[in-house]
Amino acid sequence: MTNRPKNIGTAGETAVVRMARESGFFPHADRLTLSGSADRGDVRLTRELRGGVIVEVKAGDAAARSSDLLIDAWMAETEAERQNAQAALGVLVVKRAGYAGARCGRWWAVVPLGALVALRGGFTGQSWTTHHGSDALPVRMHLDALMPLLATVYGEED
């Protein structure tokens, strides 16, 4: 018997990894293994987790029709996974209706406002998410627009 939700998740994660590698910005991107209660996200963009970038991917039907409340819950999950991985940044990637994995660059990438501001300024060295104030407000953009910003701070050469 196949596990359809797991297959959908695996396909979404694989699409994000492929896009990250093929963009040239993150040639070492890879899927992460399950870690039980100390989940570290679905994808690592950077070679090292600690101080790098993890991605939580939501690719099922719930993602394609997600509400603001669901996005908030998934952002909290992404933050917990970022902490578990000791990563500097956690990114939530959410499938959009009408966009299959081959076009995952058009899926939504959600990051805390503070992270986006820091990326734009090129500042590194700390965790960006705070659980209060405007720094934690979610900002949504296309994944293919976020990749070059991430690469300015976290990009790696092959």
The number of distinct structural domains making up the chain is: 1
| Residues 22, 25: Cα–Cα separation, whole Å | 8
Look at residue 5 in the predicted model and tell me its pLDDT.
Answer: 75
- Structural domain including 58 reads 4-154
Q: What is the pTM for the complete model shown?
A: 0.89
The confidence score (pLDDT) of residue 133 equals 57
Pull the structure tokens for residue 17: 């990894």
List of the chain residues with pLDDT < 50:
124-125, 128-132
Q: What is the pLDDT of residue 43?
A: 97
Predicted pLDDT of residue 128: 45
Which tens digits make up the pLDDT trace of 39-85?
A: 999 999 999 989 999 999 999 999 999 999 999 999 999 999 999 99
